[in-house]
Chains A and B, each alone.
Chain A
Amino acid sequence: MTARLRELVARVRDFFQRDRLSAELDDEIAFHRAMMARDRTAGDEPRDEGVGRRFGNTTQIREDARAVWGFAWLDALLQDARYAARSFARTPAFTVVAVATLALGIGANSAVFAVVRGVLLRPLPFPEPERLYLASYQPPEIAPRMQISMVGNDFIELARATRTFSDLTTFALGQSTLTGVGDPVRLNTAQVSAGFFDVLGVQPAIGRAFDASERDATGPKVAILAHALWRERFGGDSGIVGRTVLIGGVSTTVVGVMPAGFAFPPDQSVWMPMDTRIRPGMQMRRPVIGRLQRGATAQDAQAEIASLAPKFVPDPTQTEAASVARVFPLERLLVRNAKQLILVFAGAVLLVLVIAIANVGNLLVIRAAGRRHELALRTALGAGRRRLFRQLLAENAVLVGAGAAIAVPLAYGGTRALLAFAPAGTIPRGESVAVDGGVLAFTLATAFVVCTVLSIVTAVSQRSATSMALAAHQTRVTRARRATTAFVVAGEMALALVLLAGTGLMIRTFAGLRAVDLGFDTSRVSAMTIALSPRQVGTAAELHAFHHDMLGRLARVAPGGTAAMVNWRPLGLFQISGTFRAEGHDGSPGFMVSKPAVSADYFRVMRIRMLAGRDFTERDDAGAPPVAIISSAVASRLWPGENAVGKRVSMSDKPTAADWISVVGVVDDIHQLEVRGSTVPAIYQPYQQVTQPLFLAQMTYLVRSSADAGQLLPALRAVLRDVDRDLAPMSLATMDDLVAETRQEPLFQARLLAVFALLALTLAAIGVYGVLAYSVAQRTREIGIRMALGARGGSVVGMVMRQTLFLAGAGLALGIGGAIAGTRVLNRFLFSVTPTDPMTLAGVSLLLAVVALAAGAIPARRASRIDPLVSLRRDGD
């Protein structure tokens, strides 16, 4: 084997020294010839009849030697490639269309592959990620979500007793402001329990993880920074460990920096220790992640959680709805939502590639027909069929190679654009998406497949082209080829229709989401949300005063405007929901309610319909009798047919006499959590009667005025600056924009599918045009005869357009079937429209038909202008 290798090395070396070797060989032959001539004249050697012609063919010797020096096939290939390039240069229109088509098809696929690979194929960047599971113990109707899986106290119990998990951890997500290093910046922070880094199996790249003393709330304040934050804000300072920074106004010591690319939980910048101790009555749920013992299975873990459940601190609010123990692979959870979406895009982009191949294949067939004279000439000059075929293969390789070369930057840009335009969270693990060696290999492999398919097309069409060159059964071959290309174009249109239908459905979904009556009106409302850090959160009374002051200042921002506030705004990141008690009902009423704390005028600012009773006023303060406003769903479920105003509810589970709250009003139900879901029943309280500081730490201030909501935003920001210079708003936007944000994902899906669909439509249009133009060119003579015999331009146009209609009809018939079968994959992304929505199908079919007819109109027009004299003089094509 090594001898083989050595020979190959020598061969490669010689290949690059061919010029020198060739010159030396020439010298050597010249010497040989001179010696022979000398010997002959000297008569030393007996003359024989062979000597005279021995050196007749120096070229032959050189050719044979050349075969030794290098790679004859490579030489031939380069020659073929040069010939191919020249041949393409003669037909620039064909070449540009074909290369662009291939580049788009291959490039789009490479870009989507980069995403598929980064998100779905690459293992999580943790050792043995398949052993990581989310442990959950919650009511079965709650979907497994990263945000919550287990009550904090249950986690402690589980962590203490587990035998199936080698380690368990929990964490809580938050936001905080980093000050003192450039402008104040809001950061995503994660408070993590002991063992967090052990469970994941990743340790800080610089410094260390938290130690036991730091896990105590009373211990020193410490933090570990994300690599990106360390690079951007601290210039990659190698002496960062031990440095003190201000996070949420608290001086915090940096103890470590995580390695680059570590992103768990996703998008975190700072990790801080969490104090995990049993807190009686604490029902906060948090995600719990565990690493299974080697050999333990998910079933074991599930059974263990179930068996430990009786020991868990009972939840007083939890009545009959029993929790169940379940575990979910972490890997699946992280990409759960994205997986199907990405696969849909992969499918869509694959369809585009198929259309691209079909298109170029058709163009090649048409081109081969046009070149049959050239091929016949070359055959006559002695080129064998194999040689000609090799030439055509080289042409395909050049074509696809050029397409693939352009596809690489397209894929790079496409991937970047995809990640940039995707709304946050749509494509998780974005940091591991890159156009790298793996993606380039995919591009190459795709190019190879495309080239192979095109070569098969070429092989088939060449056979008919050469036999056509013999002009024997020309008509038959032409007809067969026309049928094939027509069929391929119909197929292209069908695939384009599937993509168009998908796009149409997503657009209708987006429109459907826009049409939802949210129960509130966001126009002309500006919103500013703040979150006070633990340091700033004082007593409830202090918070009441702070918010009251803010509200007073904001009310003066816009003349004639109204200001109000709510602690967790509708369609925000989360809502506080909980159980409650109602007068006349034993135990829990059996459903949870959203519990917003609001100011007076909140319903007026949000234009939530007041159905009965009164609004809150400034007089409903801490000292006044407690009051509540309930939404109509609460009223109708608790007291059907009765007047709810005057009834009493309580937020406490075992209400004492002082805990009862009088209902003073009923408002309409609104979409508190999401646009897609249903409205959520709610019990509103005046903020001044909410006594838990936690529920007053975050607040969204709303201002409605006759002014443009966007123009008011700087004034809102200025008010906050006057009150607290170091407080950065968590968000500052018009309510319209905040609501629009919730529709970003379907909008993104619709846009991306639209890009693919338009690409497909354009390619299909080119396909229609190409086939008809070819057909017209083939029938020039026939059309000429018809016109000579009196056919009018109009009837010729009609003839071509009938052909177009036939093509479009076949494409639509195939495509509608395909769309009905194919758009089902979109089902879970759709809203207010079914996958087989007839309106959508009809609309996109019409669009496709119009485009097809437009593409056919150009060749039709050309056909009508054929000059009978010219066409008849020409040799029949």
Chain B
Amino acid sequence: MPMSYLVRMPPNKNELLRGTLDMLVLKTLAAGGPMHGYGIAQHLQRVSDEVLRIEEGSLYPALQRMRQRGLIKPEWRETPNGQRARYYTISAAGRKQLGESASTFGEMVAAIARVMGTA
């Protein structure tokens, strides 16, 4: 039953947001290839038409978390301008996670839309 997604939502609001942020980062890396933290933030802002602004205070802990879980792989590289930056690449596990999150998210959005009568 579609309603069940709402029930299954984690009680902690941050958890939900955190999961969504992870998904956005993974999607960004899956679509745009290796990117550094600043690039990820810029990309998300641009793609969402300036709607989504990622707080650095959330982004870097999120990157650390995903690194730890093996979803992304960090690597120090030179930027085109010759600066040193940490680039992140999505891993196989990350892609798998992204697939799961995306479908869950899609179903949830659809369910919410139905509840709101907009579907």
A→B interface (CB under 8 Å): 6-7, 10-11, 14, 21, 24-25, 27-29, 31-32, 34-36, 45-46, 50, 54-55, 57, 60-61, 64-65, 67-69
Distance (Å) between the CB of A74 and the closest chain B CB? 16
Which single residue of chain A is at the shortest CB-CB distance from B81?
A38
User: What A residues does B12 contact at CB under 8 A?
Assistant: none
- The 3 A-B pairs with the shortest beta carbon distances in the complex, nearest first, are A64-B61, A68-B64, A35-B38
CB<8 Å pairs between A and B, sample of 27: A7-B68, A7-B69, A11-B68, A24-B86, A27-B86, A28-B86, A29-B56, A31-B36, A31-B38, A31-B83, A31-B84, A31-B85, A31-B86, A32-B37, A34-B83, A35-B38, A54-B55, A55-B56, A61-B60, A61-B61, A64-B57, A65-B60, A65-B64, A68-B61, A68-B64, A68-B68, A69-B68
Q: Which of A7, A36, A61, A67 contacts B38 (CB 8 A)?
A: A36
User: What A residues does B32 contact at CB under 8 A?
Assistant: none
User: What A residues does B37 contact at CB under 8 A?
Assistant: 28, 31-32
Number of A-B contacts (CB under 8 A): 60
Contact of A10 with B56 in the complex, beta carbons under 8 Å: no
Q: Which of B42, B53, B57, B86 contacts A60 (CB 8 A)?
A: B57
Contact of A32 with B56 in the complex, beta carbons under 8 Å: yes
Distance (Å) between the CB of A397 and the closest chain B CB? 29
CA distance A560 to B61 in the complex (A): 100
User: What B residues does A36 contact at CB under 8 A?
Assistant: 38
Query: Given A68-B68, A69-B68, list of 5 further CB < 8 A pairs?
Result: A28-B36, A31-B84, A57-B57, A61-B56, A68-B65
B70 CB–A CB distance under 8 Å: yes
Contact of B68 with A14 in the complex, beta carbons under 8 Å: yes
Contact of B68 with A28 in the complex, beta carbons under 8 Å: no
B49-80 to A contact mask, C-beta < 8 Å, 1/0: 01001011100110011001110000000000
User: What A residues does B41 contact at CB under 8 A?
Assistant: 32
Distance (Å) between the CB of A68 and the closest chain B CB? 4
B37, B68, B84 pick with most chain A CB within 10 angstroms: B68
User: What A residues does B65 contact at CB under 8 A?
Assistant: 68
User: What B residues does A60 contact at CB under 8 A?
Assistant: 57
Which single residue of chain A is at the shortest CB-CB distance from B74?
A24
Q: Which of B70, B83, B85, B86 contacts A10 (CB 8 A)?
A: B70
Distance (Å) between the CB of B89 and the closest chain A CB? 15
Which single residue of chain B is at the shortest CB-CB distance from A6?
B70
Given contacts A28-B37, A28-B85, contact A50 B61 (CB under 8 A): no
Distance (Å) between the CB of A56 and the closest chain B CB? 9
Contact of B38 with A50 in the complex, beta carbons under 8 Å: no
User: What A residues does B53 contact at CB under 8 A?
Assistant: 50
CA distance A29 to B85 in the complex (A): 10
User: What B residues does A28 contact at CB under 8 A?
Assistant: 36-37, 60, 85-86
CA distance A65 to B41 in the complex (A): 17
User: What A residues does B85 contact at CB under 8 A?
Assistant: 28, 31
User: What A residues does B86 contact at CB under 8 A?
Assistant: 24, 27-28, 31
Contact of B68 with A29 in the complex, beta carbons under 8 Å: no
Contact of A67 with B70 in the complex, beta carbons under 8 Å: no
Q: Which of B15-58 contact A (CB under 8 A)?
A: 36-38, 41-42, 50, 53, 55-57
Contact of A10 with B69 in the complex, beta carbons under 8 Å: yes
Distance (Å) between the CB of B101 and the closest chain A CB? 15
Contact of A65 with B68 in the complex, beta carbons under 8 Å: no
Distance (Å) between the CB of A442 and the closest chain B CB? 38
Which single residue of chain A is at the shortest CB-CB distance from B36?
A31
Contact of A65 with B70 in the complex, beta carbons under 8 Å: no
CA distance A418 to B41 in the complex (A): 71
Q: Which of A25, A31, A34, A50 contacts B64 (CB 8 A)?
A: A25
Which single residue of chain A is at the shortest CB-CB distance from B55?
A54
User: What A residues does B36 contact at CB under 8 A?
Assistant: 28, 31
CA distance A57 to B61 in the complex (A): 13
Distance (Å) between the CB of A797 and the closest chain B CB? 64
CA distance A21 to B61 in the complex (A): 12
User: What B residues does A55 contact at CB under 8 A?
Assistant: 56
CA distance A50 to B53 in the complex (A): 10
Which single residue of chain A is at the shortest CB-CB distance from B41?
A32
User: What A residues does B56 contact at CB under 8 A?
Assistant: 29, 32, 54-55, 61
User: What B residues does A14 contact at CB under 8 A?
Assistant: 68
Distance (Å) between the CB of B79 and the closest chain A CB? 8
Contact of A10 with B64 in the complex, beta carbons under 8 Å: no
